[in-house]
Structure 1
Amino acid sequence: MPPKRSASTKAGSEPKRHRRMMTIAEKVTLLDMLKDGRSYAAAARHFGINESTVRYIKKDEANIRKTAAITFSRSAKRVVTTRNKTIVRMEGALAVWIADCQKKNIALDTNTIRTKALSLYENFAAKEPQDDDGNHAEEDDDADEPQPGTSTDSQPQKQRFSASKGWFAKFQKRFALKSVSLHGEAASADTAAAETYVNQTFKNIIAEGGYKPEQVFNMDETGLFWKRMPSRTFLFKGEAKASGFKAFKDRVTLVMCGNAAGFLLKPGLIYKSKNPRALKNKNKNLLPVYWMHNPKSWITKTLTSNWFHQCFIPQVSKYLIEKGLPFKILLLMDNAGGHATDLSHEGIQVEFLPPNTTSLIQPMDQGVIRAFKALYTKNTLADLVACVDAAQDDEDEDFNLKAYWRQYTIATCLQNIQKALQEMKPATVNASWKKLWPQIVYDDEGFTPAEIQHSAIRKSVQLAAIIGGDGFGDMTTEDVDELLDCHSQPLTDADLEDLTKSASEEESETQEETQENVEKTGLTLERLAKACNHAKELKEMLQEWDEDMVRSMQFSNKVDDIMTPYKMLLDRKKKQRQQLPITMFFQPRKKEPVPPATTPSEEIEEVEEVSQEKTPPSEET
């Protein structure tokens, strides 16, 4: 009989393990690691959890990413459960609307938010009728509580959403809106708070930290309707009438950041899709913007933190090294709902401006963003003019400006963003600090944000006259101003409906492509060799045909300069191919089945047959 277990080995004697619950942001980071090719074991070691937990998180990837897309709380830990689809979508749109109103200093109170919620729900429900197969798992907290009765009906009646106080309390908790000031008074600009901050708080921060203009930065985000024309143009009217095609409502969010010395960082850009078709096979690290994605193209606390660590810190570090300055930074931000409040890094001090003062003292809001949008509009019209001129030069009678405008993609948008950034002068960015830090603003005559904006608007009107047609030929500066003002108007129900639609299927289609297809459409060794040969043939043809030798030689030299990066890439790929191990060109040989054992007599017969096959026929003399 085995001995009894000692008392020391009884259950419960060991200390209880504390369960660690990962946040949604941490789970998204873990899923991204797995997507980048890290193993389950490596991800488990990184976060200090069991490998089985990693596999469980991977199985729930869809719900986790959905929760991360709609939550404004970086510390949220629980995944959204199955709920009424219309209510979920309404709440996402409502959170976007609240953040937009706060950004634009629009007054909000509890009743206003509940009324807007009811309006959005009825609008969405009319277009998306509810099904009866279990999409109402949490309707008990979204509707009025049923009154007691004597009915013995086994099927309870569906409750109508009424935006009750109970729902609002849970909505605040779900979207971490408890800290939001909800009141009935007008959220007008607070002049007194702005003056106090400029004359006291900001001066003390600069004096205590010993910051120089190169070390003080301001960040702000703005919406950009990147495919929108003035409302009187035939392009806008055509898109508004076309069913299912309202590209003029396509919106991106730009994260703009610059310092008091006039240096403007590469902006962050938030698009609705991670991999749009227009950027297929493009290296996201080489874009003129820092690429981020969100189904609503809206900034969240997670994206703010991502921008801070992956975009802001690397750029500023490089900039300060070039200037020979220590890594000591002051970053000013407003207190918008989508901004993370837990940003921290050694050497960086993050300060938030007082509420309702951004329109008065925040540098990026003092005309820089508006001037940038004016330059972007001008460059967009310049693209249209260039296409019209090219069609006329080629005598293309089939050219259709509407058809071309439909092909205006996010890739073209990025090109015009880059042009606008190049046209923004350091003096213009420096001048925007005049109200917050007037002592460091140098001579800004001719480069103020207002002057840059007015110049871009005038050129836009001139370019529109060249295009001609309804709304273009008679475009005025007021029309362009109206286009720029549309970004600061409150979001309508139709805008919120478009913002809360799921991202295009183009992302999933692009993600499903294999590496083999990517290689077929990229710069392969054969294609690089072909391009270099074409460049060589072009030089030889012009050297033979052109009577002016100096001109042909200048052309050849320019072609050589342009083709240098492709030649270097070709040489690199050739070396990579030469260095490949010879074993990769062989296929593993299949093991042949072992022949059955033979008797000695069979072996003798087999040897005789082989010897007869190898013996050459005798030649007759």
Structure 2
Amino acid sequence: MAPKHAASFKPLDNETKRRRKMLTIQQKVKLLDMIKDGKKIVEVARHYGLNESTVRSIRKDEKNIRAAAAVSFNKEAKRVATSRNKFIMITESALAIWISDSRKNNVTLNSLVIREKARQLYQRFTADDPQPGPSCATFKDFTASKGWFEKFQKRYQLKSVVLHREAASADQSAAEDYVNSFQNILEEGNYLPEQVFNMDETGLFWKRMPSRTFIFKDEAKVHGFKAYKDRVTVVMCGNAEGFLLKPALIYKAKNPRALKNKNKNLLPVHWMHNANGRITKQLTSDWFHKCFIPQVKLYLVEKGLEFNVLLLMDNAEGHAQELTYDGVRIEFLPPNTTSLIQPIDQGVIRTFKALYTRNALQHLVEAMDLEENFLLKDCWRQYTIATCLKNIHVVLKDIKMETVNASWKKLWPEIVHDNTGFTPEDISNSAVVKAVRLARMLGGEGFADMTRNDVDKLLETHLDPLTDEDLVEMAKSASEEEDEQPEAAEDQEEEAGLTLERLSQVTRAIKEVQDMIDEWDPQMMRALRFQNALDGAMEPYKDLLTLMKKQHQQLPVSMLFSCAPRHPLPRPSPSAQVVPLEEQ
């Protein structure tokens, strides 16, 4: 009888076992965006290291995933909880925003206050639709219990929130101590003013007029979405020398209709999106790596300086703490010192908003001068997010380096130049005065008798704590603003915008304008300056027109190649010599 052999035993090795890969909700949204952009399933699967069947399953669940992403504050979550009451999910999202806003405004919080706020928000969300839906019919009334609160803290990573504390005020002592510490940091790193940057973000109600104007009052009466409550976040960053980086802008929609067919990489701002239009740790990381690092590298190369950078940030809730990059040191300012020593907060933000308000009114006055049948309401209705970006572009040109440099006076007074007439206070006050004058030119209720106090109140509303109505608006999905059609490829976008026919039409129109000025203007030198300026401005479009004409002429040849016969070509004999196409 053959001897019995012991059964072979292969120990389980965790390293050889294939680990199941789980994507976060944010990664799933990016995966879905790739498919929406026209990527093939196999390409997306290879990019994420997944099976094609897994990618198809994610695509099948796209509606639930995007809904969860729209209301979720924790983008690192990996599962979509479809059994939870959707109103509780939205309530928690709005509550997390409120906690973050309260902390930034130094409002006292404790567990009782937060739970009561949660109940109030839940009642607001369910007021119009008290039934959560068939899938949630078994849920009892939301009571915001202690158990729920503990789970809420874990879900939204709020363990570090100081819930029991006195209302914090600006910490003068901590600010003075940090000014001394800052000098040691400068000496230790041997930093120059060009190498020291400060970043801060601010909310901007981009389509709001002073509250006494008839436009504001009429919008307040409208049910549903109110344009004056539409808020974006602007991320600003500048150095001690006075150089301002291209700002980032966070909007609630990825593809607003006003920016259809616009290349998001070629806007006056670094475009980012979030369902709430607010800064998050992930967006901070995106800004740091995709906006801050490239711009600063280019700036320092042009200055002939070493890439040795100090970046100052406050410790706001949405700022990522783990940012790292070779050559960059990041310092977080002490709590409750922003209003005292943070440079961008020392007048630059207010100046930005004052200039933005002035330019918005200037836009209306110019439209009034051009249009015979001008209606202020209609013109303001056509003020879109695209117009907002153009306004921001002009504002950045109006903010001088001297103004940004002056904002470092409290933190680094030694490097501040003589900025008489260009301080943030000077520029802001001048913009407010101009805004009042423009408003009175427009006329109408609230415009004809506008005062500086009206404009000042408008600038201060950007700093007001969020109301329940604001939270309800911000917690809603951004799907209403999204362009539902998939984004076209870059060449398709160009075809939909600047076609050969349209470029030719623009060129002819400019030529006609030049001819009219040449004929009608009695001052030849003035007419020549105007014509030369137009020629210079049209140069990139003329180059593009020339390129497109060449491509159009080559089109029939390429079409011949693309229309090759479908039947198989005869094979060459073994002795035949194969000649490369480019040698024929």
Tell me the TM-score normalised to structure 2 length.
0.88
Match of 1:162 in 2: 143
Give yes or no for contact 1:290–1:311 (8 Å, CA) kept in 2. Answer: yes
**Matched residues in 1 for 2:531 and 2:400: separation?**
34
Give yes or no for contact 1:271–1:297 (8 Å, CA) kept in 2. Answer: yes
Q: Name the CA shift for 1:487/1:555 in 2 (closer, same or farther; >3 Å).
A: closer
Match of 1:374 among 354, 357, 362: 354
Stretch of structure 1 that moved more, 376-385 or 524-533: 524-533
Shift of 1:72: 4.4
Task: Give the secondary structure class of the aligned counterpart of 1:360.
Answer: helix
**Matched residues in 2 for 1:245 and 1:71: separation?**
21
1:125-204 to structure 2, matched below 5 A, reads 125-135=126-136, 158-200=139-181, 202-204=182-184
Q: Name the CA shift for 1:55/1:209 in 2 (closer, same or farther; >3 Å).
A: farther
Task: Give the secondary structure class of the aligned counterpart of 1:127.
Answer: coil
Q: Name the CA shift for 1:495/1:80 in 2 (closer, same or farther; >3 Å).
A: same
Please tell me the residue identity of whatever aligns with 1:386. Answer: E
Tell me the TM-score normalised to structure 1 length.
0.83
Match of 1:390 in 2: 370
Of structures 1 and 2, the one scoring higher in RCO (CA 8 A, sep 6+) is 2
Give yes or no for contact 1:272–1:295 (8 Å, CA) kept in 2. Answer: yes
1:509-588 to structure 2, matched below 5 A, reads 509-511=484-486, 518=493, 521-537=496-512, 539=514, 553-580=528-555, 582=557, 584-585=559-560, 587=563
Give yes or no for contact 1:262–1:427 (8 Å, CA) kept in 2. Answer: yes
Shift of 1:118: 0.9
Give yes or no for contact 2:252–2:478 (8 Å, CA) kept in 1. Answer: yes
For residues 567-590 of structure 1, the C-alpha deviation after alignment (integer angstroms, 9 at most, x for no partner) is 100111122234447352564667
1:65-464 to structure 2, matched below 5 A, reads 65-73=66-74, 75-135=76-136, 158-200=139-181, 202-244=182-224, 246-391=226-371, 396=372, 398-464=373-439
Give yes or no for contact 1:217–1:260 (8 Å, CA) kept in 2. Answer: yes
**Matched residues in 1 for 2:185 and 2:510: separation?**
58
Q: Name the CA shift for 1:444/1:543 in 2 (closer, same or farther; >3 Å).
A: closer
Shift of 1:264: 0.9
- Unaligned 5+ residue runs, structure 2? 569-584
Task: Give the secondary structure class of the aligned counterpart of 1:356.
Answer: coil
Please tell me the residue identity of whatever aligns with 2:148. Answer: W
**Matched residues in 1 for 2:499 and 2:401: separation?**
40
* Percent identity over paired residues: 61
Give yes or no for contact 2:198–2:342 (8 Å, CA) kept in 1. Answer: yes
Please tell me the residue identity of whatever aligns with 1:494. Answer: E
For residues 316-357 of structure 1, the C-alpha deviation after alignment (integer angstroms, 9 at most, x for no partner) is 111111111111111111111111122111111122112222
Shift of 1:225: 0.5
Q: Name the CA shift for 1:437/1:408 in 2 (closer, same or farther; >3 Å).
A: same
Shift of 1:535: 3.7
Shift of 1:29: 4.2
Stretch of structure 1 that moved more, 502-511 or 171-180: 502-511
Give yes or no for contact 2:281–2:318 (8 Å, CA) kept in 1. Answer: yes
Please tell me the residue identity of whatever aligns with 2:179. Answer: V
Q: Name the CA shift for 1:553/1:363 in 2 (closer, same or farther; >3 Å).
A: closer
Q: Number of aligned residue pairs: give it.
A: 563
1:56-71 to structure 2, matched below 5 A, reads 56-71=57-72
Stretch of structure 1 that moved more, 541-550 or 551-560: 541-550
Shift of 1:57: 3.6
Give yes or no for contact 2:347–2:425 (8 Å, CA) kept in 1. Answer: yes
Please tell me the residue identity of whatever aligns with 2:401. Answer: P
Match of 2:475 among 476, 483, 500: 500
For residues 245-282 of structure 1, the C-alpha deviation after alignment (integer angstroms, 9 at most, x for no partner) is 52111111111111111111111111111111211222
**Matched residues in 2 for 1:583 and 1:387: separation?**
47
Shift of 1:51: 4.3
Match of 1:479 in 2: 454
Q: Name the CA shift for 1:13/1:262 in 2 (closer, same or farther; >3 Å).
A: closer
Q: CA RMSD in A?
A: 2.9
**Matched residues in 1 for 2:424 and 2:218: separation?**
33
**Matched residues in 2 for 1:443 and 1:500: separation?**
46
Shift of 1:416: 1.4
Give yes or no for contact 1:90–1:124 (8 Å, CA) kept in 2. Answer: yes
Q: Name the CA shift for 1:366/1:536 in 2 (closer, same or farther; >3 Å).
A: closer
**Matched residues in 1 for 2:412 and 2:519: separation?**
63
Give yes or no for contact 1:74–1:301 (8 Å, CA) kept in 2. Answer: no
Give yes or no for contact 2:71–2:475 (8 Å, CA) kept in 1. Answer: no
Give the structure with higher Rg (CA). Answer: 1
- Unaligned 5+ residue runs, structure 1? 137-155, 593-621
**Matched residues in 1 for 2:335 and 2:327: separation?**
25
